[in-house]
Amino acid sequence: MEHLENRELSWLKFNKRVIEEATDINNPLLERLSFSAIYQSNLDEFFMVRVGSLTDEEKENNKKKDSKSGMTPSQQLDSIYTAVRRLQPRVEEAFKKNMEELAPYGFEHVAFANATPEEQAFLELYFKREIKPFITGILVNDALPFPFLKNKELYAAVNIASKKGTLVGIIPVTHEHSERIIPLDKNGKRFILHEEVVLQFAHLMFKGCKIQDRAIIRVTRNADIMVNNKGADFRERMEELVVKRTKLAAVRLEISNQFSREAVDYICKKLKIGNVRVFNSNIPLDLSYLFKLQELDMSTELHFEARLPRKTAMLADNRPVFSQVKSKDIILSYPFESMTTSFIRLLEESAVDPKVTSIKITLYRLARNSKVISALCTAAENGKDVLVMIELRARFDEANNIEWSKILQKAGVKVIYGPKEFKAHSKLLLIKRRSTGDKFDYVTQVGTGNYNEKTSSLYTDLMLLTADREIAEDAEQVFDCLLNGTFVEKTNKLLVSPYALLPQILEMIDQQIEIARNGGKGYFAAKINSLNDKSIIDKLVEASQAGVKIELLVRGICCIIPKVEGYTDNITVRSIVGRFLEHSRIFIFGNDIKEQKIYIGSADFMSRNTIRRVEVAAPIEDEKLKKRIRDMFSIMMSDNVKARELQNNGRYVRVEPQKGEEPLNSQEYFYEEAYRRLEAKAVRQERMKEVRAKKSKKDK
């Protein structure tokens, strides 16, 4: 249908918006290069997960059609390959242009042929002394076994002249002592890549052989693993699966430059993939080294303006966070406000507070040196009842979470895992503290992002801290269900999937439909990462047809096309792609401020979130906080620097400032706001000091 979009193609449009940032001249040069690396990293994961999943579906049931585009798995895969190939020239052009523009700053990626004779001699010696002793060349033909090519690893491949069919040489490029960037000057800005040196001297690995052509190759493998949480040996089975994933089927072969068709066909045969899955590139196959280039020159014109998360103006330094939350609800906004001086501080204070009796938390992704883990271990060692639900199936964080679960258990923490067949993706914390006698106070935290100090400085997220007793009761129920392997069916205030989130959202949209049909101004707004849930899409179409105004901020996948006559006339969809990854989720129901309902939470509008995961969203009830969330949403919808608007033809068009309008970058605006709030707080504190000083002087 013309108002619906295929999920995979919509995601590729998102990644197209990422590569557009690599060509935006308003972004500093080194930051532009980073967007090229992000684009490639995103695409790697897309092939590993989504293409891997579609490949499995193609084998199992190729007649099953996508509900939004009507395409079979094979047709979706063909469309994906076409879209990726169409984007490749833009990706290559952006990379080459940015590298050229960095030349005046001393940066030069040197091709071996363009190196000076002295540099070439140095590189040959470097290869013989620092590379060749640590790598092995492998000859392969039908009589010799084909080596296992690791996921996303670089290999030098050579086509060798042979009278007995195809003969290919494979050289693993990297080893434990290798450095990707080989500097050719003192500061490292003039450089050549490790794999390029290996490729140049590949003939030295196969003496007596005539090499006809050579290329760097890279294989992407299926990473779509899933195991149900059944039995006490769940963690052991997850450890086995993490290892198994590295050996799953290949789904893509990348080749640098041009390579012999005969040799490509042979490698494809050994990898058991069709030529349609072969992608050529005229730039390095792994752009992750671009992040290291950022460290080689700290010139301000090459980087975004330095920004550091500020202390939140909502918390005082001289009182425990728990007692402050008892007095009022608090909203924290990342990366503009600091996680360390707010949420981590709450955990660390609670870990040593003798009156705190229990801490319960859900963990999905964590920083490498996690202060969250440290605080939880301290709490357990201090005799508190600490319950941690850690999701071992968090994709690509499985190994980290397995290790964290062991560390927590050693410290005396009670560790549980997500329910059977469902991931627990919620961001939920409940702290119980003795008040007077047998009475207890509670602080509940509900967030949109992970408890990860690193990503909290890179992702935009929101976090609610509240002492609301009904929310605490709901949170307690969530943890009881996680402990017992059941699901919350009814709540006081929280929205909790899989049973008590989607029905409530649909019901609240229905209320707006009823308002619009009765001549009122129905309104619904959402800021989410993705939208593909069929029931929500159908309800949004119904609401639009009834006259409800709908505003959607969708960073990535959006399977609804707005402004399609008769279906989505009243729907506006915008996407913000900028310096920070938009990650917060906000739901707003109603135009009347007095009756308006606002929620923040962990759930996107995807079926995996609404019906196949444990997600939690919390109401924002404090009027000042509601206004703050409304204002934030309004600012983001008014962004005319980093926002794109989805058109009824399925294309995203960058929003430009209109005549007389000032440029508005919402992310920069929120950082400035965080600075202003803190400055205003300091001014208020200084005035209070003066007032107290005058009063003290007068009393004397």
pLDDT, one tens digit per residue, over 122-143 is 999 999 999 999 999 999 988 8
Query: Is position 177 annotated as part of the catalytic site?
Result: no
Q: So what's the pLDDT on residue 1?
A: 72
Is residue 226 scored above 70 in pLDDT? no
Q: Where are the alpha helices (DSSP H) in 485-561?
A: 502-517, 534-546
Q: Please report, for residues 147, 149, 253, 282, 395, the alpha-carbon distance to residue 48 in angstroms, rounded to integers and kept in the order given.
A: 20, 15, 12, 22, 11
Identify the sign of the CA torsion 482, 484, 485, 489: negative
What phi and psi, each to the nearest 5 degrees, are found at residue 167? Answer: -130, 120
- Residues 319 and 639: their CA atoms lie apart, in Å, by 37
**What confidence score (pLDDT) does residue 65 get?**
84
Length of the chain: 700
pLDDT digits (tens, 9 = 90+) for 235-294: 887 888 787 777 789 999 999 988 999 999 999 999 999 999 999 999 999 999 999 999
Residue bearing the bigger pLDDT, 411 or 245: 411
User: In a 3-state reduction of DSSP, which class is residue 197?
Assistant: helix
**Contact by Cβ (8 Å): 534, 6:** no
**pLDDT score, position 229:** 65
Query: What is the per-residue pLDDT across 457-501, written as a single tens digit (0 to 9) for each?
Result: 999 999 999 999 999 999 999 999 999 999 999 999 999 999 999
Rg (CA), the chain: 28
Question: Which has more confidence, 15 or 592?
Answer: 15
Task: Please state whether beta strands 652-654 and 643-646 pair in parallel, antiparallel, or not at all (unpaired).
Answer: antiparallel
Helices (H), 522-564: 534-546
Position 279 scores a pLDDT of 97
pLDDT (0 to 100) of residue 462: 98
pTM exceeds 0.75 for this model: yes
- The predicted-structure confidence for 541-562, as pLDDT tens digits, reads as follows 999 999 999 999 999 999 999 9
Q: Which of 3, 194, 425, 583 is catalytic?
A: 425
Residue 592 has pLDDT above 70, yes or no: yes
Largest CA distance in the chain: 107
Q: How far is CA 447 from CA 152, 319, 332, 388, 477, in A?
A: 33, 23, 9, 16, 17
Q: What is the pLDDT of residue 461?
A: 98
Pairing of strands 181-183, 190-193: antiparallel
Q: Is omega for the bond preceding 104 within 30 degrees of 0, making it cis?
A: no
pLDDT of 477? 98
Query: 496-663: what fold?
Result: Endonuclease; Chain A (3.30.870)
pLDDT of 306 strictly over 80 = yes
Look at 298 and 165; give whichever has higher pLDDT: 298
Residue 572 has pLDDT above 70, yes or no: yes
pLDDT of residue 240: 81
In the block, residue with structure tokens 């059609």: 65
Cα dihedral 105, 110, 114, 116 sign: positive
**How far is the C-alpha of 546 from the C-alpha of 551, rounded, in Å?**
15
User: Tell me: the pLDDT tens digits for 372-391?
Assistant: 999 999 999 999 999 999 99
Q: How confident is the model at residue 693 (pLDDT cuts 50, 70, 90)?
A: low
Element (H, E) at 347: helix 345-352
Its CATH architecture, for the domain 7-302, is 2-Layer Sandwich (3.30)
How far, in whole angstroms, is CA 467 from its chain's centroid?
30
Cβ atoms of residues 21 and 35 within 8 Å: yes
Strand-by-strand arrangement of the 652-654 sheet? 495-496, 616-619, 597-601, 586-589, 523-528, 549-554, 571-576, 643-646, 652-654
User: Which residues, in sequence order, are bridge partners of residue 653?
Assistant: 645
Q: Is the pLDDT of residue 695 over 70?
A: no
Report residue 634 as tokens: 């309004």
Report the pLDDT value the prediction gives residue 234, as an integer from 0 to 100.
81
Cα–Cα distance measured from residue 640 to residue 626, given in angstroms and rounded to the nearest whole number: 24
Residue 396, Ramachandran bin (φ over 0: left; ψ between -120 and 50: alpha; else beta) = left
pLDDT number for residue 690 = 65
Kindly write down the DSSP assignment for every residue of 266-327, as one continuous string.
HHHHHHT--GGGEEEESS-S--TTHHHHGGG---GGGSPPP--PBPPTTS-SSS-HHHHHHH
Please choose, from the candidates 492, 516, 512, 490, the residue with its C-alpha nearest in 3D space to the C-alpha of residue 503: 490
Residue type, 700: K
Confidence of residue 68 (pLDDT cuts 50, 70, 90): confident
Note the pLDDT tens digit of each residue in 426-448. Answer: 999 999 999 987 899 999 999 99
Task: Indicate the fold that domain 321-486 takes in CATH.
Answer: Endonuclease; Chain A (3.30.870)
171 close to 215: Cβ distance less than 8 angstroms: no
Angle at 293 between CA 292 and CA 298, to 5 degrees: 110
Percent above pLDDT 90 for the chain: 83
| pLDDT tops 60 at residue 700 | no
pLDDT at res. 538: 97
Please give the average per-residue pLDDT across 210-237, as a whole number: 83
According to DSSP, the β-strands at 459-466 and 440-447 are antiparallel
Which H helix or E strand runs over 374?
helix 371-381
Q: Is the link from the previous residue into 335 a cis peptide, with omega within 30 of 0?
A: yes
What is the per-residue pLDDT across 1-41, written as a single tens digit (0 to 9) for each?
A: 789 999 999 999 999 999 999 999 999 999 999 999 999 99
User: Which of 44-53, 520-529, 691-700 has the lowest average pLDDT?
Assistant: 691-700
CA 447 to chain centre: 15
CA separation for the pair 120, 127 (Å, rounded): 10
Closest to 39 (Cα-Cα) out of 58, 15, 75: 15
Give, to the nearest 10 degrees, the angle between helix 502-517 and helix 534-546.
10
